[in-house]
Structure 1
Amino acid sequence: MARQSASVLIASFQENYEQLLRFLIRKLNGDSERAADVVQDTYLRLAQTLDTEDQIDNPRAYIYRVAGNLAIDQIRRDRRQNVHQDVEADDFHVADIGDPKPGPENIYLSREQIALLDRALSQLPEKPRAALLMFRVDGLSHNEIAQKLGVSNSMVAKYIGRALKHCRDALLVRAER
């Protein structure tokens, strides 16, 4: 009985080869080489069913199920391999960096940006500057800033917004030069 079901599977496989290949090409995003590999793996898997005693009611559906499962396994294997390669590439990239300290150019640029921000802050009126510093440096809420400055919450938001825009514009003007 098992011998008969295996020969039925192989015969059905041969009859449906072209449709199975097209099915796998679609499933594997148009990669015909990988699809051909999966078709061959499917044949090998079907040939191993000689040892089973189970009766297969719908050979074509069984073949497609085996092929679909093998295609899913292939996709998962490719994803794992890609993730593994990405991790290796990241490790390689990190190894190239060497010393994690910033280089002289980055230090200079950072100091220049700090000087620009300091100059921009000094150009701000007192209340917007104080509101921005209390919010960003001291971590105070709008309510707390409003109480300290004697203004409304909405005015604090306006002060902070104007101060941030002024600082951003000062940095952008410098970056455009």
Structure 2
Amino acid sequence: MLSAHPSQSDFQTLYREHHGWLLRWLKRRLHDAGLAGDLAQDTFIKVLVARSHDDIVRPRPFLATIARRLLANHCRREELERAYVDALLHLPQASAPSPESMSIVLESLQLIDRALGKLPAKARSAFLMAHLEGLSYAEIAVELATSTHSVKKYLAKANLLCFFAVPDFAAS
């Protein structure tokens, strides 16, 4: 068991005893040694930089949970990138953005995705339904089994959060 604020030796022990296991666990699931290695390292970095956390009674399930969350974030970012690139492929050649513009847009999408991840599920869903599916407040309210007033509040919060998530937009 590790204390709530692990010492350097506690962390080294955790790493030494469980890094190999976590790496093998990730490799079996991902079939990509490079990604597995990156996620294993990122998992331990999350543990290392955590300012406070509960006692780690069962390190392997704890580490696996962190790794699963990191993998979900990775997959979501890849899905965003694929959707953006797919949309670009359908543009006429003359209107296709430069590689620099593509990079800026992808980074902005990732920042927005990270911001949306901080929202409650209903606010996040309302934002996506409004901006990706083009649903009205009333249609969103029906989908979420809530009032249009709540939808307005969800969207105001989500839009503001996303606006400030991308520094270039907030500065302009």
Normalised-by-shorter TM-score class:
0.3 to 0.5
Q: TM-score, normalised by structure 1?
A: 0.45
Larger Rg: 1
Q: TM-score, normalised by structure 2?
A: 0.46
